[in-house]
A and B are shown apart, each in its own frame.
Chain A
Amino acid sequence: MITGTPKPIEEILEMLEPYDNIILAGCYGCVTVCRVGGDKEVQVLASTVRLAREAAGKKIEIKEVCLERQCDPEYLEPMRPYVEDYQAVLSIACGAGIQFMAEKFARTPLLPGINTGFLGVTERQGEWTERCQGCGDCVLHLTGGICPVTRCAKSLFHGPCGGSVQGICEVSKETKCGWQLIIDRLKALDQMDNYGKIKPYKGWDSSRDGGPRRIIREDMV
C-alpha cells in the first residue's frame, strides 16, 4: 500500500489560514488502511481544525467527505457539483490522489493534509516498512523475493558493500543489510546459484530516472 503520515496540525492550520469554508476529503484506499486518511481521520481532523479555529475566533466551515479512491476519475466526479461552493479542498489522500483531484478541479486550490511515504507493508499496528520503489523491472525471482533496489540502501545488484556488518547496514543500526537478507533467503531456498549469476546492466529508464512514467496497456485501452 501507499503509506503516509499526518502533517503537523500547526502546518495544516497555517495552510488553512486564508480560508473559512473548505472540503476535507479522505480516501477509502491505502490511506484508510494505514490510518492516516480514511473516514475516521477525516472526522478527527475536521473536529481538530474546527476547535482550533473557533478558539482563535476565526470559525471555519468544513464539509467532510471520504471518496472510494481519489486516484480514479469516476470517484472524483461526485464532488464536481459542489466543489466550487468551497474555497479549497484539504485532501488527506496520498500525493497521487491529491494531484489528480487538483487536475480535475482546476479552479479550486488543493491542500495536502498528509505527507505521503512509500510503497510498504504493515509490520504491526502503527509500524510500516518500505518494500518497493516501483523501478519497473522486477528481479524478485532472482533475489529470493527480497528487493535489492529497495532493501539495499545503495540499490546494489551484486551483493553487499563493505558497510554491511553482521547483517546490519551502515546507514542505521535499525536497517538490516538487504543483501544479507537476500543471501540468507537464497540459502534457505537452495537457490544460491542465483547469487553467482552476473546480472546484466539494469536499465533505469523504467524507473524514476526517465521522468514521470506512463503505463499504456493496449489490450485495455
Chain B
Amino acid sequence: MLPCTGRIDEAILLKAFEKGADGVMVIGCLEGDCHYVNGNIRARARVERVYRILEQIDIGPERIRMYNLSAGEGSKFAAFTSEFVEQVVKLGPSPINLARQREAQVS
C-alpha cells in the first residue's frame, strides 16, 4: 500500500517486471496537486529512469507509462487503462515471459 507515487522507486518498478508484468502503469495525482508537494513529480522522474533502463536492456520502454489523474476522474481512469492495456497487448508478452515460456516448454 503506497500513500503516494512519491514512494515508488526504480527498484519497485523493475521488480514488477521481474515478477512477470508485461506492462506497468503508474498513476499519480495531477501535477501541482500532490498532497506531499512533489511526490508525483519525483515519481515521473523515476518512471523516466526505468523507461531508459528498459530501453537499454531491450525489454521495451513502452511497457511503462505514467499518468496523472485526480480521484474524481473515473471515466478518464478507465480510458487510460484501456489505452495502456491495448498498447501492452499489441506488444505481446515481455521478453522475460517469452523466455519463461520457452524454458517451460523445454522442461
Contacts and interface: CB of A to CB of B under 8 A. Distances in A.
B11 A51 contact: no
B53 A48 contact: yes
Interface string B27-52: 00000000000000000000000000
Contacts of A54: 96, 99-100
Interface in A138-193: none
Interface string A1-23: 00000001110010000000000
Nearest to A8: B56
A122 interface: no
A8 B57 CA distance: 11
B97 to A, nearest CB: 9
B8 to A, nearest CB: 12
A55 B14 contact: no
A55 B10 CA distance: 19
A47 B95 contact: no
Contact of B57 (A9, A40, A43): A9
Given A40-B11, A52-B57, A57-B102, A47 B96 contact: no
B15 interface: yes
A215 interface: no
A55 B9 contact: no
Given A9-B56, A44-B10, A48-B53, A55 B95 contact: yes
Interface of A: 8-10, 13, 40, 43-44, 47-48, 50-52, 54-57
